[in-house]
Amino acid sequence: MKFTYSPTHHQHAPAEIIVRGTLVRNLESPERADALLAQLLSQGHEKVLPTGWDQRWIEAVHDAGYLEFLETAHERWRALPNATPLIHPHAFAHYSSRRRPQSIQGQVGYYLAGGSSPVAEGTWTAAVGSAHAALEAARLVLDGEREAYSLCRPPGHHAYADFGGGFCYLNNIAIAANYMASKLGRVAILDIDTHHGNGTQSIFYRRGDVHFVSVHGDPDVLFPFYAGYADEHGEGEGEGHNLNVPLPLKSEDPAWLGAIDEGMASIQAFKPAALLVSLGFDPFKGDPSSDLAVSTEGFRAAGERIGRYRGPVVLIQEGGYLVEKLGENLNAFLDGYMRSRNAA
Ligand SMILES: [Zn+2]
């Protein structure tokens, strides 16, 4: 299988994030992508670097003010007296008072939602490289590949049109899905990361041409907390095109795979021209960021189910933080996926 990858991700390596009031080691590390890359190369998959992309398809999804912030924030922050090397907002725009200030110290809490999306010197470059990798995978499929995998880092599905959060800055899968929808008409997204794809949901919530399904741990107790509930169905033209399947914490393979079956049935009924998958390995039972308990064989079985879809498929990497198991879980997923695809 061809896969896309941008080495610019190494430029984004914030050492720490804030969790429960404490600075802790950042789980979203370059080593994650390095482990996945080593696995893909060892299995003979073919690496493709993104080339020739500009900002057009990123601007088609994201707010211009937010993009300008991301590109310039670190330099502006560093010009403040006593500024830290990483941007950690300490005040946030509450939902009832979203005025956009001009200062960098005000804008960091306007454009970043929470303590798990610090901005480092290379964050913008890395985020753009990750988005371009997703676009390149979409282009491979539009040009005739049956499927492609994009090794995106930083991940993207928690990024809204106008703010970042949860390790995410640019919404890679939304950028790729919008690009594909502009060429194909109707596309579907299945998000199987352990955390609800709140940014992706928000971007397509009022659209009828992008059908979004997310299977995830209960957002009442698991990030992102403020979206991901079963009663969020879409609005306007998007009514009926948003399906959330939250699962009780500690759910194991049978419940998780049952939710994926429900999601795939919804996607098959939509009859999309292509499927994009937000592929997270953090539902894994040993993952430090998850409260689900999926096994490596569970990922193989998920791949089999998703591989039964007969149209073009773009797989986009999202979360997964137990570095030593990422390669094994990706391999199991792709093995199950290819088994179903080749059985057609
Ligand atoms: Zn996640």
Domains of the chain: 2-62+132-342 (3.40.800.20)
Distance from the CA of 327 to the center of ligand 1, in angstroms?
A: 16
**85-105, pLDDT tens digit by residue?**
889 888 888 888 879 999 999
* Least confident interval from 21-25, 26-30, 191-195: 21-25
**45-98, pLDDT tens digit by residue?**
999 999 999 999 999 999 999 999 999 999 999 999 989 888 988 888 888 887
Which residues are 188's β-sheet partners? 211, 275
Helix (H) or strand (E) holding 111: helix 104-111
Q: How many CB atoms lie within 10 A of CB 39?
A: 18
Q: Take residue 1 and report the two structure tokens written for it.
A: 């299988």
Average pLDDT over residues 174-197: 98
Q: Is the pLDDT of residue 344 over 80?
A: no
User: What Å distances lie between residue 94 and 115, 159, 247, CA to CA?
Assistant: 14, 17, 28
Q: Whats the size of the chain, residue-wise?
A: 344
**126-185, pLDDT tens digit by residue?**
999 999 999 999 999 999 999 999 999 999 999 999 999 999 999 999 999 999 999 999
Longest dimension (CA), the chain: 62
pLDDT at residue number 220:
97
pLDDT at residue number 23:
83
Helix (H) or strand (E) holding 334: helix 323-342
Tell me the pLDDT band of 192, cut-offs 50, 70 and 90.
Answer: very high
pLDDT at residue number 41:
98
185 three-class SS: coil
pLDDT at residue number 84:
87
Distance from the CA of 268 to the center of ligand 1, in angstroms?
A: 25
Shortest CA distance to 143 belongs to which of 183, 182, 189?
183
Q: Which amino acid is residue 240, in one-letter code?
A: G
Phi first, then psi: give them for residue 341, nearest 5 degrees.
-60, -40
Burial zone of 211 (CB within 10 Å; 0-12 exposed, 13-18 middle, 19+ buried): buried
Distance from the CA of 308 to the center of ligand 1, in angstroms?
A: 24
pLDDT at residue number 327:
98
Distance from the CA of 319 to the center of ligand 1, in angstroms?
A: 4
Helix (H) or strand (E) holding 72: helix 64-78
* Least confident interval from 15-19, 36-40, 174-178, 228-232: 15-19
Q: CA 236, 275, 174 angle in degrees (round to 5)? A: 60
Distance from the CA of 199 to the center of ligand 1, in angstroms?
A: 12
Residues whose CB is less than 8 angstroms from the CB of residue 125 and which lie 6 or more positions away in sequence, other chains included: 8, 11, 12
Query: Residues of the chain with pLDDT > 70: what percent?
Result: 100
Distance from the CA of 191 to the center of ligand 1, in angstroms?
A: 10
Tell me the pLDDT band of 22, cut-offs 50, 70 and 90.
Answer: confident
Distance from the CA of 290 to the center of ligand 1, in angstroms?
A: 7
Helices (H) and strands (E) in the chain, counts: 10, 10
* Least confident interval from 7-16, 202-211, 324-333: 7-16
Which residues are 200's β-sheet partners? none
Distance from the CA of 183 to the center of ligand 1, in angstroms?
A: 29
Distance from the CA of 102 to the center of ligand 1, in angstroms?
A: 32
Phi first, then psi: give them for residue 109, nearest 5 degrees.
-85, -5
Distance from the CA of 280 to the center of ligand 1, in angstroms?
A: 6
120 alpha carbon, distance to own chain's centre: 19
- Which residues participate in catalysis according to the annotation? 158
* Least confident interval from 83-87, 265-269, 337-341: 83-87
pLDDT at residue number 53:
97
Q: Is the pLDDT of residue 7 over 90?
A: yes
pLDDT at residue number 110:
95
Q: Take residue 71 and report the two structure tokens written for it.
A: 């590109």
Average pLDDT of every residue of the chain: 96
Q: How much is the CA Rg of the chain, to the nearest whole Å? A: 19
Q: 151-184 as b/e, with b when 16 or more CB fall inside 10 Å?
A: bbbbbbbbbbebbbbbbbbbbbbbbbbbbbbeeb
Strand-strand pairing, 147-150 and 313-317: parallel
Higher per-residue confidence, 19 vs 52: 52
Average pLDDT over residues 28-34: 97
Cβ–Cβ < 8 Å for 4, 151: yes
